[in-house]
Structure 1
């Protein structure tokens, strides 16, 4: 995965926007293709990797791993490893992560209303 150079203009512009605009900062944390699906799944409580994968069958193991690491790094998800054989790992939202519950529910409601009013056609269909 390629990272933006800290000295690049693109990086500096993003940093300035994130510092001035809290909404943009929030979107940068939860706006990934799979992130909301993962968060929606974890709203219901602790889950193991395989359980999360079953709720989002289209995501690859690698992408799920990368997204969970990113969420853990951003303190939205915690990862607990149990010293067992076979190893058991559970993921759970942090207290700040659980604060997204109402936002996710509102997005779900908005998405349903959008589909009813506008239809299900999207840029994916083009």
Structure 2
């Protein structure tokens, strides 16, 4: 009987654990443009609630893909940026984004057929 040293079956399993959810990939893409404050991220993703944005940023910080820097000033200023790990993850996602762009019409047709409420 062999003991597993990892909770993951493969590299994709590990990666999906880090980027799982609707918003993390979009936050990664937004932060690839450079450091942003909470309000900038919120304006860039207007459909995300503040509660979920805070939760997602905290999870990404705990996963060491986002760096949170609080500047000691009044009013408080907090900026979020990608770490080296976050940047490398973003780079790894670029081919997936290209695939999505290339097949967007097919995906929209299929998704719309399965989920008419989204149309």
> Normalised by the shorter chain, which TM-score bucket?
0.7 to 0.9
Aligned positions, number: 109
User: What is residue 109 of structure 1 aligned with on the other side?
Assistant: 98
Deviations 1:1-46 (A, max 9, x none): xxxxxxxxxxxxxx64x1x312101111012111000000001110
TM-score by length of structure 2 reads 0.83
4+ aligned runs moved over 6 Å, structure 1: none
TM-score by length of structure 1 reads 0.79
Q: Is 1:87 paired with 2:93?
A: no
Higher relative contact order (CA 8 A, sep 6+): 2
Give the alignment's Cα RMSD to 1 decimal. Answer: 1.6
Contact 1:81/1:88, CA 8 A, preserved across alignment: yes
- For 2:115 and 2:38, how far apart are their aligned partners in 1? 28
User: What is residue 116 of structure 2 aligned with on the other side?
Assistant: 125
Structure 2 unaligned runs (5+)? 1-5
Deviations 1:22-78 (A, max 9, x none): 210111101211100000000111000001111111000000000000000010001
Displacement after TM superposition at 1:119 (Å): 4.4
Instruction: Specify whether residues 51 and 115 from structure 1 end up closer, same or farther in structure 2 by C-alpha distance, changes over 3 A only.
Output: same
